[in-house]
Amino acid sequence: MTVDARLHALGRGARHRRGLIALALSVPIVLAFAAWAMRIAGWPASIVALAIGAVAIFVYARHSMRAIDAAWIARRLDATNVHFEDSADLFFRDAADLSPLQQLQRARLHERIETEVPAAIASAWPRRLIAIVWLVALGAIALAWLAPRTSLRSGNETQATGAKGVRATKLDRIRLDVAAPAYTRLPTISETTLDAHVPEGAKVAWRLHFDPQPNKATLAFHDGSRVELARDGDAWKGERTLAASALYRIALDGAPPLEDDGLHRIDVIADRAPDVRVIQPEKSLTLLTDGQKTWELAFEANDDYGIAAASLTITLAQGAGENIAFKEQTLALAGEDLDPANPGRRQRYRHTLDLGALGIARGDDVIVRLAVSDNREPSPNTTKSASFILRWPPENANDSIGMEGIVEHTMPAYFRSQRQIIIDTQKLVDEQPRLDEDAVLARSDGIGVDQKILRLRYGQFLGEESETRSDGAPAGDDEKHGKNEADAGRADALTKRENEHKHFLEVQRFGDAGAVTAEFGHTHDVAEAATLIDPETKAILKSALNEMWEAELHLRQGRPAEALPYENKALAYIKEVQQSSRIYLARVGLELPAVDESRRLSGDRKSVTDRTSALARAEIGDIDALALWQALGTHETPDFDAFERWLTTQKIAGDGDKLGLLSAIDRVRRDPACEDCRRSLRALLWPLLPQPAAGIPARATPDAAGRAYLDALRGDAR
- Per residue in 143-192, pLDDT (tens digit) is 877 765 544 444 444 443 443 445 688 888 899 999 999 898 889 999 98
Tallying the residues shown for the chain, one arrives at: 718
pLDDT at 388: 93
Neighbours of 83 (CB within 10 A): 10
CA distances from 498 to 206, 438, 478 (A): 76, 19, 19
Report which secondary-structure segment, H or E, holds 407.
strand 406-408
pLDDT at 347: 92
pLDDT at 330: 93
pLDDT at 294: 93
Neighbours of 53 (CB within 10 A): 19
Spatial contact of 529 and 461, defined as CB atoms under 8 Å apart: yes
The interaxial angle of helices 437-461 and 560-578, nearest 10 deg, is 20
Q: Is residue 697, in this structure, part of any structural domain at all?
A: no
For residues 281 and 263, membership in a common domain is answered with: no
For residues 231 and 288, membership in a common domain is answered with: no
Residues of the chain with pLDDT under 70: 1-8, 78-95, 97, 103, 105, 109-120, 147-167, 321-322, 396-416, 461, 463-534, 578-592, 608-622, 651-656, 692-696, 716-718
For residues 243 and 280, membership in a common domain is answered with: no
For residues 434 and 539, membership in a common domain is answered with: yes
- CA 606/CA 610 separation, integer angstroms: 11
User: Domain total for the chain?
Assistant: 5
For residues 671 and 527, membership in a common domain is answered with: no
pLDDT at 471: 40
- CA 326/CA 319 separation, integer angstroms: 9
CA distances from 282 to 65, 285, 310, 360, 663 (A): 49, 9, 20, 21, 49
Q: Is residue 35, in this structure, part of any structural domain at all?
A: yes
For residues 204 and 254, membership in a common domain is answered with: yes
Terminal-to-terminal C-alpha distance of the chain? 127
Neighbours of 575 (CB within 10 A): 18
Domain holding 240: CATH number?
Answer: 2.60.40.10
Q: Is residue 109, in this structure, part of any structural domain at all?
A: yes
Q: Is residue 345, in this structure, part of any structural domain at all?
A: yes
- CA 221/CA 263 separation, integer angstroms: 9
Nearest to 40, CA basis, from 173, 139, 197: 173
Q: What is the CA radius of gyration of the chain?
A: 45
- pTM of the shown model: 0.45
Domain final residue, candidates 391, 422, 444: 391
- CA 148/CA 232 separation, integer angstroms: 29
DSSP 375: -
Q: Is residue 128, in this structure, part of any structural domain at all?
A: yes
- CA 289/CA 369 separation, integer angstroms: 21
Q: Is residue 226, in this structure, part of any structural domain at all?
A: yes
Q: Is residue 56, in this structure, part of any structural domain at all?
A: yes
For residues 540 and 421, membership in a common domain is answered with: yes
Domain final residue, candidates 129, 144, 159: 144
For residues 425 and 513, membership in a common domain is answered with: yes
Domain final residue, candidates 351, 367, 391: 391
pLDDT at 652: 67
- CA 473/CA 487 separation, integer angstroms: 12
Q: For residue range 627-671, list pLDDT tens digits in order.
A: 888 888 887 778 887 887 777 777 665 545 788 888 888 888 888
Q: Is residue 112, in this structure, part of any structural domain at all?
A: yes
CA distances from 41 to 34, 137, 232 (A): 10, 19, 19
For residues 465 and 422, membership in a common domain is answered with: yes
- CA 448/CA 264 separation, integer angstroms: 72
For residues 443 and 558, membership in a common domain is answered with: yes
User: Per residue in 147-158, is it b (16+ CB within 10 Å) or e — as a string?
Assistant: eeeeeeeeeeeb
For residues 136 and 185, membership in a common domain is answered with: no
What is the domain extent for residue 200?
167-269
pLDDT at 382: 93
For residues 473 and 537, membership in a common domain is answered with: yes
SS3 154: coil
